Amino acid sequence: MTTLYRCITEDDTSRFCHRVSEALAKGWSLHGGPTMAFDPEKRVMRLGQSVTKEIEADYHPDMALGQQ
């Protein structure tokens, strides 16, 4: 078994929620709570959420984690 990790980031819009919801629907699990920070260049709040997933394959750096 291999544990995959990814961090989803997005501006504070419904798109962030949809991306996290899509990951959960694909079998990913929340890893900790969300984070929020102000992006002074774009003048928007940015959100982040870490997710993990167990797979029965070996990890390889070329894996497209969002496709798993």
Which residues fall within 8 angstroms of residue 65, CB to CB, at 6 or more apart?
4, 6
Higher per-residue pLDDT: 10 or 68: 10
Residue 31 in domain: yes
Residue 66 in domain: no
The domain tally of the chain equals: 1
pLDDT for 49 equals 98
**How confident is residue 13, by pLDDT bands cut at 50, 70 and 90?**
very high
Domain at 7, CATH number: 3.30.70
- The angle subtended at Cα 59 by Cα 9 and Cα 1, nearest 5°, is 105
Which segments of the chain are extended strands (E)?
A: 2-11, 29-30, 35-39, 44-55
User: Please, are residues 2 and 63 in contact by the beta-carbon 8 Å criterion?
Assistant: no
Residue 48 in domain: yes
- What digits encode the pLDDT tens for the residues 14-68? 999 999 999 999 999 999 999 999 999 999 999 999 999 999 988 888 888 877 7
